[in-house]
Amino acid sequence: MPIHIEIADELEKLGKHFKASQRTVLLKSVKRALRRSSNPLERLSVKRVQQFRSLNAKLIKQRWFRMKKRLNGMDLRKIEIELLILRKPLNLIDVIIGSKTPRKQLGISVRQRRPLRMRITPGKTVRLNHAFIAKGKKSSVYHVFKRKGPGKSPLVKQAAPSLNELFEKEFFRRPIERDIAKRLNKEFSAAYDYFLAQALR
């Protein structure tokens, strides 16, 4: 579920009462405030994710986040910034503790292999028994696998839910939306004062 930063209806109503020059000031201020709030939105979202998942910031931004900006045009209702969270499952290889490459396992039965240790949630270690690391059939990316049953049963790729599921929960999104609303109001006020002063010169 994406997080939107958009202009409230009150601003649209307010804009109708402005003179032509002030209307331009309002529009410029809105665009500047949104543009300068996009980085804080991404930064706040990354920090919020890291409270629940043991992932580094660069990986979160590269794999799950996409910023979409609509800052053209004159209609305030259509001007917004949107943080999209991709529906990609969490590859367990990213949260493995220790070596993330295949370990020596030739000749060792699955039952006797050391369990893999991982940390999905900060501060909590999980052991995954009878699992191993290998490359996917159609890629060079390592994954964690387990067999579906005993013997030469089919392999099943192990993964954790996508970060998108976190953003669908209201308790998770609320602090981000609250903090970015404060930042947006502050940026808008500063931008409006600046552009109005420029217009009155």
- The closest alpha carbon to 116, from 60, 63, 158, 57, belongs to 158
Which ranges in the chain belong to alpha helices (H)? 9-15, 20-50, 57-63, 164-167, 170-199
Q: Are residues 7 and 45 in the same domain?
A: yes
Q: Are residues 138 and 182 in the same domain?
A: no
Q: Are residues 84 and 11 in the same domain?
A: yes
Q: Are residues 118 and 141 in the same domain?
A: yes
Q: Are residues 141 and 51 in the same domain?
A: no
Q: Are residues 57 and 119 in the same domain?
A: no
Q: Are residues 155 and 170 in the same domain?
A: no
Count of Cβ atoms closer than 10 Å to residue 53 Cβ: 19
Q: Are residues 11 and 79 in the same domain?
A: yes
Q: Are residues 49 and 101 in the same domain?
A: no
Q: Is the pLDDT of residue 17 over 80?
A: no
Mean pLDDT of the chain: 84
Q: Are residues 72 and 167 in the same domain?
A: yes
pLDDT of 107 reads: 60
Across the range 37-62, mean pLDDT stands at: 95
pLDDT, greater one: 65 or 13: 65
What is the chain's alpha carbon radius of gyration, rounded to the nearest angstrom? 24
Angle made by CA atoms 124, 129, 131, in degrees to the nearest 5: 110
Residue 97's domain comprises 91-160
Q: How many domains does the chain have?
A: 2
Q: Which residues pair with 96 in a beta bridge?
A: 118
pLDDT of 124 reads: 93
Q: Please give the single-letter amino acid code of residue 140.
A: S
- Dump pLDDT digits (tens) for 126-181: 998 888 888 877 778 888 888 776 666 677 888 899 999 999 999 999 999 999 98
Q: Are residues 116 and 129 in the same domain?
A: yes
Q: Are residues 13 and 105 in the same domain?
A: no
